Amino acid sequence: MANADHLRGPNPWHPMSDPVDLKHLGKFIEECTEAASAAARCIIQGIDETEPTTNKNNREWLQEEIGDVLANAQLVIDHFKLNVTAINKRAARKREYLRRWHAGA
């Protein structure tokens, strides 16, 4: 256990304050939650059913939201100069793991 006398100051957090940074991440979060809502609707009603309020096909809605997430992810990657190679490596490992998991292996 760390010695409490040697811990950092009481507030180690330094929240973002740049408006453009906040817009990038805020929009990315918004699109991720919209994709989650579309996926939940597919689970609840079925992917080929129609949302009763909007009359939008659930499959189309999910596709649109995934597209929005992918677009925003690319903007976040570009804006924050994230390591695309590391991201792609992680994505490839995750895909392989999940393929095996879905197959029950």
With cut-offs at 50, 70 and 90, classify the pLDDT of residue 53: confident
How many Å apart are CA 86 and CA 90, to the nearest integer? Answer: 6
Residues 70-82: pLDDT tens digits?
999 999 999 999 9
**Residues 94, 13, 22, 81: is their CA dihedral positive or negative?**
negative
User: Is the pLDDT assigned to residue 26 strictly greater than 80?
Assistant: yes
**Who wins on pLDDT, 14 or 36?**
36
How many Å apart are CA 92 and CA 31, to the nearest integer? Answer: 22
User: Is the pLDDT assigned to residue 93 strictly greater than 80?
Assistant: yes
How many Å apart are CA 20 and CA 45, to the nearest integer? Answer: 37
With cut-offs at 50, 70 and 90, classify the pLDDT of residue 105: low
Give residues with Cβ within 8 angstroms of 87, minimum separation 6.
Answer: 77
How many Å apart are CA 86 and CA 30, to the nearest integer? Answer: 24
User: Is the pLDDT assigned to residue 5 strictly greater than 80?
Assistant: no
Three-class secondary structure of residue 50 per DSSP: strand
The pLDDT score that the predictor gives to residue 51 is 83
pTM more than 0.85: no
